[in-house]
Amino acid sequence: MLKNSFLCSSSRVSIASLTVVAMADEIILLDFWASHFGMRVRIALAEKGLKYEYREENLWNKSRLLLEMNPVHKKVPVLIHNGKPICESLMIVQYIDEVWKDKSPLLPSDPYQRAQARFWADYVDKKVPQLYHELGKKIWYTKGEEHEAGKKEFIECLKFFEGELGEKPYFGGENFGFEDVALVPLSCWFYTYESFGNFSVEDECPNLMAWAKRCGQKESVSSSLADPHKVHGFVMEMRKRLGID
Amino acid sequence: MAAISLQTATMAEEVKLFGTWASPFSRRIEVALKLKGVQFEYIEENLSNKSPALLKYNPVHKKIPVLVHNGKPVAESLVILEYIDETWKHNPILPADPYEKAMARFWAKYMDDKLWPAATKVVVSKGEEQKAVIEEIQEQLKTLESELKEKKFFGGESLGFVDIAANIIVFLLVAQEALGLMEILTEEKFPVLHEWYQRLVDDAVFKECVPPRERHLGFFKARFGSSTASK
């Protein structure tokens, strides 16, 4: 009887320990390797030193989990934290910043500066679809006048960001933050646009290029951004599939 | 030194809101400021002749609303709402819990990214195209209804961030009436949302911040009305 009790109590202790271990954060990221939006989340998770499970989605054959976790938009990235989904990359980044607030804050603490950071991140969000799907696409997909027009407008967009950055090391000032996270994934596409567009980002926007390199020196950024050559290969594949090569 | 401290202490908060009477985006800011009891000066902009002040305070988008707090401008309505909530912390409009806050941001953005473009399409489209847009809007309302569930407001017991952002629905329904469109938010199709809507427009603060009804109906009729409105 006593022996049984001893065994029972030690089992209870083991179960309690198991429960404590199981209660550690479970973080899953549904993503696509070349996604600008997904890279933002990867950077934020890395900034906070968080362990997570990365799951690659095939955007042409979305998983049931993705459709279940983001029924409204059916898009990546989706962060699943202890079973609960958060969608929309900038919202995910803010969520990560608020939950793990003691390490590497991405947003400033002052409400006015936070508002400026959100305003600029929102501006980037408004520009990103145009940069990739309209202007960027004209650069790698079209020829002649349309190509030149796309290239010109793309460079103008970059120059606007260059102007906003000015002499600052980062968009928010002295420290890497929310606005930088919002924009920096574009930099791994520079090589692709430069090759097809026959221009140099460094020549057109030296400050922006310096900023991209500065961000790239951070482990959180370099480990999160797609390899520029892989991106180029991906676009070459798309060109073949669309019959232009 | 003492004189400077006195000056700082007595410097009153100066809050200005640049907006237009018919814009849901500037009306949202009015709701938030009134909920917090913040005194502000309202400046009505003429969008076909924007003031130098507006262009100075929002050089990037040149749009209203812009909130100017002690000379410092904040633009983009949802960004302004968060700024207001973080600056005047009483009567919070966003939840404190990070997950609930993320959900509130998601649904407020849904209003702007889905409902607003559909609403602007419905007033300019005709016939079959208009019918299709109305169906699209009703799909969106269905989504909102299942999100609302048993809650009194999206914000819970009192109106919050999402309810304020949902003021687009008010504008949509005034347009529907002005243009003689089929009823969009029927009680039959949307029992839960319909009740929420009545609560929203009855709310003491919210109802002070909707455009005057007759003027608003007239605005839609003049701008988008035609003899070929669909039923």
Please say whether the beta carbons of B91 and B36 come within 8 A. yes
Of A95, A112, A116, the CB nearest to B102: A95
State the Cα–Cα distance between residues B46 and A172, nearest whole angstrom. Answer: 33
pLDDT confidence band for A129 (50 / 70 / 90): very high
Of residues A201, A173, A207, the one with CA closest to residue A188: A201
Residue of B nearest to A91 (CA): B102
| CB-CB neighbors (< 8 A) of A91 in chain B | 102, 105-106, 109
Q: Is A214 near chain B, with CB under 8 Å?
A: no
Is beta strand B41-44 parallel, antiparallel or unpaired with respect to B15-19?
parallel
Of A88, A92, A112, the CB nearest to B72: A112
End-to-end CA distance of chain B: 71
End-to-end CA distance of chain A: 80
* Look-up of token digits 């936070």: A114
Q: In angstroms, what CA-CA distances link B86 with A93, A163, B96?
A: 18, 29, 11
Q: Is the whole-model pTM more than 0.80? A: yes
Is beta strand A53-56 parallel, antiparallel or unpaired with respect to A27-31?
parallel
Q: How many contacts does A have with B, using Cβ atoms within 8 A?
A: 52
Q: Is B87 near chain A, with CB under 8 Å?
A: yes
Contact yes or no for A115 and B74 at CB 8 A? yes
Of residues A169, A171, A41, A178, the one with CA closest to residue A105: A178
Which residues of chain B form beta strands (DSSP E)? 15-19, 41-44, 66-69, 72-75
Please name the amino acid found at residue A130.
Answer: Q
What is the per-residue pLDDT across A161-170, written as a single tens digit (0 to 9) for each?
999 999 999 9
Q: Given a cut of 60, is residue A4 above it in pLDDT?
A: no
Contact yes or no for B98 and A72 at CB 8 A? no
Please name the amino acid found at residue B22.
Answer: A
Give me the tens of pLDDT residue by residue for chain B, a chain 231 residues long: 444 444 443 456 899 999 999 999 999 999 999 999 999 999 999 999 999 999 999 999 999 999 999 999 999 999 999 999 999 999 999 999 999 999 999 999 999 999 999 999 999 999 999 999 999 999 999 999 999 999 999 999 999 999 999 999 999 999 999 999 999 999 999 999 999 999 999 999 999 999 999 999 999 999 998 744 444
What is the DSSP track for B161-193? HHHHHTTHHHHHHHHHHHTTPPPSS-TTT-HHH
A-interface mutation test, from B62, B63, B66, B76, most A Cβ less than 10 A away: B76
State the Cα–Cα distance between residues B185 and B193, nearest whole angstrom. Answer: 8
| CB-CB neighbors (< 8 A) of A84 in chain B | 99
Q: Three-state SS for A186?
A: helix
Can you say how many angstroms the Cα of residue B201 is from the centroid of all Cα atoms in its chain?
12
Q: What is the ipTM of this complex?
A: 0.92
| CB-CB neighbors (< 8 A) of A118 in chain B | 76, 79, 82
For residue B65, say if its preceding peptide bond is cis, omega within 30 degrees of 0. Answer: yes
A-interface mutation test, from B60, B68, B85, B97, most A Cβ less than 10 A away: B60
User: How buried is residue B124: exposed, middle or buried, by Cβ count under 10 Å (0-12/13-18/19+)?
Assistant: exposed
Of A84, A95, A119, the CB nearest to B79: A119
Whole-number percent of chain A with pLDDT over 70 = 90
Mean local confidence (pLDDT), A222-237:
97
State the Cα–Cα distance between residues A195 and A140, nearest whole angstrom. Answer: 9
